[in-house]
Structure 1
Amino acid sequence: MHLLPELASHHAVSIPELLVSRDERQARQHVWLKRHPVPLVSFTVVAPGPIKDCEVTRRIFNHGVTALRALAAKQGWQIQEQAALVSASGPEGMLSIAAPARDLKLATIELELSHPLGRLWDIDVLTPKAKFSPAATIHCRLAAACCASKAQPSARVEKPIN
Structure 2
Amino acid sequence: MSLYFMGVEQSLSDILKARETRAEYQQYLLDNYRNTVVSYKLNIPGPVKYSPFIRKIFDEGLAVFTKKIGESSIVSLFEKVIYKNSGPEYLAVFDISPYIIKGMAANIEEMHPLGRLYDFDVFAPQGRQISREELGIGPRKCLLCDSNAFECGRSRKHDIRDLISKIENMALEYFNSYDKG
Q: TM-score, normalised by structure 2?
A: 0.72
* Residue 88 (structure 1) shift: 4.1
Tell me which residue corresponds to 1:5.
Answer: none
Q: 2:129 aligns with which of 131, 140, 150?
A: 131
1:31 pairs with 2:34: no
1:59-80 Cα distance to aligned partner (Å, 9 max, x none) = 1111111111111111121111
Pair 1:48 & 2:45 matched: yes
Residues 7 and 48 of structure 2 are in contact (CA less than 8 Å); yes or no, is this contact kept in structure 1?
yes
Distance in 2 of aligned mates of 1:61 and 1:90 = 9
- Judge conservation of contact 1:18–1:88 (CA < 8 Å) in 2: no
> Which runs of 5 or more residues in structure 2 are unaligned?
1-5, 134-138, 167-181
Residue pair 1:53, 1:91 contacting (<8 A) in 2 also: yes
C-alpha RMSD of matched pairs (Å) = 2.3
Counterpart contact for 1:21–1:87, Cα < 8 Å: no
Contact 1:13 1:50 in 2 (8 A): yes
Displacement of 1:10 after TM fit? 1.7
CA distance in 1, matches of 2:7, 2:85: 10
Q: In structure 1, the residue corresponding to 2:130 is in which secondary structure?
A: coil
Equivalent of 1:72 in 69, 72, 77: 69
The C-alpha deviation readout for 1:124-145, integer Å capped at 9, x for no partner, is 101232111267122345xx54
Q: Is residue 101 from structure 1 mapped to residue 98 from structure 2 by the alignment? A: yes
Distance 2:20 2:38 in 1: 17
Q: Please list the CA deviations of residues 109-157 of structure 1 after superposition, one character each: whole Å capped at 9, or x if unmatched.
A: 011111122111111101232111267122345xx5443322xx615xx
Which one of the candidate residues 125, 148, 152 is aligned to 1:147? 152
Equivalent pair of 1:22/1:89 in contact (CA under 8 Å): no
2:103 is the counterpart of 1:122:
no
Q: In proportion to residue count, which structure has more helix?
A: 2
Gap regions ≥5 residues in structure 1: 1-8
Letter aligned with residue 111 of structure 2: S
Counterpart secondary structure, 1:102: helix
Q: 1:35 and 1:145 mapped to 2: Cα distance? A: 32
Give the TM-score normalised by the residue count of structure 1. Answer: 0.80
Which deviations, in whole Å up to 9, do the C-alpha atoms of 1:9-67 show, x marking residues without a partner? Answer: 92100111111111111011111111212211100012122111101111111111111
Cα gap change, 1:147 to 1:126, in 2 (>3 Å)? farther
Q: How many residues align?
A: 146
Q: Which runs of 4+ in 1 moved over 4 A?
A: none
Identity among equivalent positions (%) equals 24
